[in-house]
Amino acid sequence: MKTFPMGGVHPQENKLSRAKAIEVLPLPEVVQIPLGQHIGAPATAKVAKGDKVLTGQLIAEATGFMSANIHSPISGTVQSVDMVENGQGLRQMMITIKREGDEWVETIDRSTELKRECTLESAAIIAKIKDAGIVGMGGATFPTHVKLSIPPGKKAECLIINGVECEPYLTSDHRTMLELGEEMLVGVEILMKAIGVDKAIVGIENNKPDAIAHLTELSKKFKGIVIEPLKVMYPQGGEKQLIAAVTGRQVPPPPALPIDVGAVVCNASTTYAVYRAVQKNMPLIERVVTLTGKGVKEPKNLLTRMGTPIQTLIDAAGGLPEDAGKVINGGPMMGRAMINLASPVTKGCSGITIMSGQDAERKEPGQCMKCAKCVSACPMGLEPYLLAKLAKKRQWEQMEAEMITSCIECGCCQSTCPAYLPLLDWVRLGKQTVMGLIRARMAAQAPKK
Amino acid sequence: MEVLFYTILTLCVLGILAAVILYFVAQKFKVEEDPRIDEVEKMLPGANCGGCGFAGCRGLSEALVKRDDISALFCPVGGGDTMKAVAAYLGKAAAEKEPQTATIRCGGTCEKRPRTNKFDGAKSCAVAASLYVGETGCAFGCLGYGDCADVCTFGAITINPTTGLPEVDPDKCTACGACVKACPKRVIELRKKWPKNRAVYVSCVSKDKGAAVMKACKAGCIGCGKCEKVCPFGAITVEGNLAYIDPAKCKLCRKCVNECPTGAIKLVGMEPLPKAPKAAPAAAPKAAAAAAAPKAVEGPATIALKASGTNPLMLLNAKKAVMESKADKSVEGAVVALKESGLKPLKYMR
Amino acid sequence: MANKLIVSPSPHVQSSQSTASIMRDVVIALMPALVVSVVVFGLNVLFVTALSVAACVLFEYLIQKFVVKGACTICNWSAVVTGVLLAFNLPATIPWWIVVIGAFVAIAVAKMTFGGLGKNPFNPALVGRVFLLIAYPVQMTSFPTVENPALDALSGATPLAAVKFGTDAGQLPMTDLLLGNMPGSLGEVAAVALLVGFVYLLWRKVITWHIPVTVLGTMAVFAFVVALTRGGDAAQLWQFPLFHVLAGGAMLGAIFMATDYATSPMTTKGCVIFAVGIGLITMCIRLWGAYPEGMSFAILIMNACVPLINKYVKPQRFGVK
B134 vs A: CB within 8 A: yes
Residue of C212, C228, C310 lying closest to C270 (CA atoms): C310
Helix, strand, coil tally for chain A in percent (to 5): 30, 20, 45
Taking an 8 Å Cβ-Cβ cutoff, which residues of chain C contact chain A?
1, 3, 5-15, 17-19, 21-22, 73, 76, 78, 116-119, 208, 261-262, 264-268, 314-320
Give the one of C8, C15, C316 whose C-beta lies nearest to A381's C-beta.
C316
- Would you tell me which residues 117-146 of chain A have a C-beta closer than 8 angstroms to some C-beta of chain C? none
Query: What is d(CA C41, CA C90) in angstroms, rounded to the nearest whole number?
Result: 12
A7: alpha, beta or left? (left if phi > 0; alpha if psi -120 to 50): left
Determine, yes or no, domain membership for C298: yes
By Cβ distance, the residue of A394, A422, A433 closest to B121 is A422
Helices of type H across B68-110 = 79-90
Among the three residues C87, C109, C139, which one is the final residue of a domain in this structure?
A: C139
State how far the Cα of C319 lies from the Cα of C321, in Å rounded to an integer: 6
CB atoms under 10 Å from CB of B347, counted, come to 8
Q: Which residues of B195-221 are buried (b: 16+ CB within 10 A; e: fewer)?
A: eeeebbbbbbbbebebbbbbbbbbbbb
Task: Name the residue among B120, B124, B126 with its Cβ closest to that of A362.
Answer: B120
User: What are phi and psi for residue A416, nearest 5 degrees?
Assistant: -105, -5
Q: Is the pLDDT of residue C229 over 50?
A: yes
Q: Which chains touch B (3 or more CB pairs under 8 A)?
A: A, C
Q: Cα separation of B299 and A110, whole Å?
A: 64
Residue C126: inside a domain: yes
Best mutation target among C3, C8, C13 (most A Cβ atoms within 10 Å) is C13
Same domain, B130 and B70: no
Per-residue model confidence as pLDDT tens digits over C98-125: 999 999 999 999 999 998 899 999 999 9
Q: Pick the closest to residue A178 from A202, A155, A199, A146 (CA basis).
A: A202
What value does the mean pLDDT take over residues C263-271? 94
User: The domain containing residue B321 runs over which residues?
Assistant: 305-350
User: Dihedral of the CA atoms C279, C285, C287, C292 (nearest 10)?
Assistant: -110
Closest CA to A163 of A197, A194, A187, A130: A187
Domain extent for C185? 159-309
Classify B91 in phi/psi space as left (phi over 0), alpha (psi -120 to 50) or beta. left
Kindly report the average pLDDT of chain C as a whole number.
89
Domain identity same for B126 and B138? yes
Query: What proportions of chain B, in percent to the nearest 5, are helix, strand and coil?
Result: 40, 10, 50
- Which chain C residues touch A323 with a CB distance below 8 Å? 3
Q: Can you tell me whether residue B157 is helix, strand or coil?
A: strand
Q: Give the CA distances from residue C185 to residues A140, C152, C176, in Å, rounded to whole numbers and listed in that order.
A: 58, 18, 15
Q: What is the DSSP string of A331-378?
A: -TTT-EEES-TTSBP-TT--EEEEEEGGGGSPPPP-------HHHHH-
CATH number at residue B70: 1.10.15
| B88 and B152 together in one domain | no
Residues B147 and B164 in one domain: yes
Q: Which DSSP symbol is given to C15?
A: -
The answer for A281, left when phi > 0, alpha when psi is -120 to 50, beta otherwise, is left
CB A144 within 8 A of CB A270: yes
ipTM: 0.90
Query: What's the confidence (pLDDT) of residue B350?
Result: 30
Contacts of B122 in chain C (CB under 8 A): 9
Looking at the structure, do residues B203 and B261 belong to the same domain, yes or no? Answer: yes
- CB of B129 less than 8 A from some CB of A: no
The one-letter amino acid at A73? P
Q: Which residues contact B224 (CB under 8 A, 6 or more apart)?
A: B210, B261, B323
Three-class DSSP category at C235: helix
Q: Do A339 and B133 touch (CB under 8 A)?
A: yes
Whether the CB-CB separation of B49 and B178 falls below 8 Å is answered with yes
pTM: 0.85
Tell me, yes or no, whether C231 and C172 share the same domain. Answer: yes
Domain assignment present for residue C165? The answer is yes
pLDDT in tens, A206-265: 999 999 999 999 999 999 999 999 999 999 999 999 999 999 999 999 889 999 999 999
How many degrees, rounded to 5, is the angle at CA B223 between CA B148 and CA A82? Answer: 90
Q: Same domain, yes or no, for B112 and B188?
A: yes
By CA distance, what is C319's nearest residue in A? A252
State which residues of chain A have pLDDT below 50.
Answer: none
Chain B contacts of C6, Cβ < 8 Å? 117-118, 120
- Which residues in chain A touch residue C118, judged by CB atoms under 8 angstroms apart? 367-370
Interface test with C, best of A371, A385, A386, A389 (most C CBs within 10 A): A371
Domain boundary among B97, B113, B144: B97
C-beta atoms of A428 and B126 within 8 A? no
Q: How far is C27 from chain A (nearest CA, A)?
A: 16
Indicate if C303 and C165 belong to the same structural domain: yes
Residue C161 has a pLDDT of 78
Name residues of chain B where pLDDT drops below 50.
278-350
Please tell me if residue B126 touches chain A, with a CB cutoff of 8 Å.
yes
Q: Which of B50, B71, B97 is the last residue of a domain?
A: B97
Same-domain status, C126 and C204: no
CA contacts within 13 A on the Cβ side of B48: 3
Burial of A401 (0-12, 13-18, 19+ CB in 10 A): exposed
Q: How close does chain A come to B116, measured CA to CA in Å?
A: 9
Q: Are residues B227 and B238 in the same domain?
A: yes
What pLDDT does B316 receive?
46
What H or E segment, with its residue span, contains residue A204? strand A200-205
Q: With an 8 Å Cβ cutoff, is B289 touching chain A?
A: no
Asked if A51 contacts A62 with a C-beta cutoff of 8 angstroms, the reply is: no
- B84 and B113 together in one domain: no
Residue B9 in any domain: the answer is no
- Are B113 and B240 within one domain? yes
Give the single-character DSSP code of A158: E
Mark whether B262 and B314 lie in a shared domain: no
Give the DSSP letter string of B173-200: -----HHHHH-TT--EEEEE--GGG-EE
- A91 at B interface, C-beta within 8 A: yes
User: Are A199 and A226 spatial neighbours (Cβ–Cβ below 8 Å)?
Assistant: yes
In terms of domains, do C165 and C289 share one?
A: yes
Domain count of the fold of chain C: 2
State the Cα–Cα distance between residues B287 and B279, nearest whole angstrom: 13
| pLDDT reported for residue B78 | 81
CA distance B112 to B108: 6
Tell me whether residue B296 is in a domain. no
Q: How far is it, in rounded angstroms, from Cα C62 to Cα C69?
A: 9
Write out residues 353-412 of A within 8 Å (CB-CB) of C. 353, 355, 359-363, 366-373, 375-376, 378-383, 385-386, 403, 406, 409-411
Same domain, B348 and B219: no
B221 domain residue, yes or no = yes
How would DSSP label each residue in C69-135?
-----GGGSHHHHHHHHHHHTS-TT--HHHHHHHHHIIIIIIIGGGTSTTT-SS-HHHHHHHHHHHH
Among A356, A375, A426, the strongest candidate for a mutation testing the C interface, having the largest count of C CBs within 10 A, is: A375
Strand A324-329 to A336-338 pairing: antiparallel
Same domain, yes or no: C109 and C248: no
H or E stretch covering A202: strand A200-205
C164 and C121 assigned to the same domain? no
Q: How many domains does chain B have?
A: 3
What integer pLDDT is reported at residue B29 of this predicted model? 84
Question: Are C174 and C228 contained in the same domain?
Answer: yes
Average pLDDT of chain B is: 79
Q: Give me the residue from A88, A361, A432 closest to B133, CB to CB.
A: A88
Last residue of a domain, one of B46, B67, B97: B97
For residues C163 and C304, state if they share a domain.
Answer: yes
Mark residue B158 as left, alpha or beta (left: phi above 0; alpha: psi -120 to 50; beta: remaining): beta
Subunits with 3+ Cβ pairs within 8 Å of C are: A, B
Domain end marker among C75, C104, C139: C139
Domain boundary among C93, C110, C139: C139
Neighbouring-strand partners of residue A94 = A34, A82
What's the CA dihedral at C134, C138, C140, C142 to 10 degrees? 160
- Residue-level pLDDT at B189: 93
With CB atoms and an 8 Å threshold, state whether C7 touches B131: yes
Same domain, C134 and C163: no
In this structure, is the dihedral angle defined by the CA atoms of residues A277, A279, A280 and A281, taken in order, positive or negative?
positive
Same domain, residue pair C98 and C208: no
pLDDT per position as a tens digit, C193-221: 999 999 999 999 999 999 999 999 999 99
Omega prior to A235 cis, within 30 of 0: yes
Q: How confident is the model at residue C149 (pLDDT cuts 50, 70, 90)?
A: low
Establish if C178 belongs to a structural domain. Answer: yes
- Residues from chain B that touch C7, judged by Cβ atoms under 8 A, are 117-121, 131-132, 135
Q: Tell me the count of A-C CB pairs closer than 8 A.
A: 158
Q: Residue B16 CB: number of other CB atoms within 10 A? A: 10
Give the Cβ contact number of residue B296 at 10 Å: 9
Same domain, C127 and C41: yes
By Cβ distance, the residue of C11, C18, C21 closest to A415 is C11
Say if CB A168 and CB A13 are below 8 A apart. Answer: yes
In A, minimum Cα distance to B136 occurs at A89
Considering the domain architecture, whether residues C220 and C267 belong to the same structural domain is answered as: yes
Q: Is residue C12 part of a domain?
A: no
Nearest CA-CA partner of A262 in A327, A199, A213? A199
Q: Given an 8 Å threshold on Cβ–Cβ distance, is B122 in contact with A426?
A: yes
Are B316 and B240 within one domain?
Answer: no
B350 part of a folded domain: yes
pLDDT average, residue stretch C145-154: 54
Please report, for the domain that includes residue B165, its CATH number. 3.30.70.20
In a domain, B222, yes or no: yes
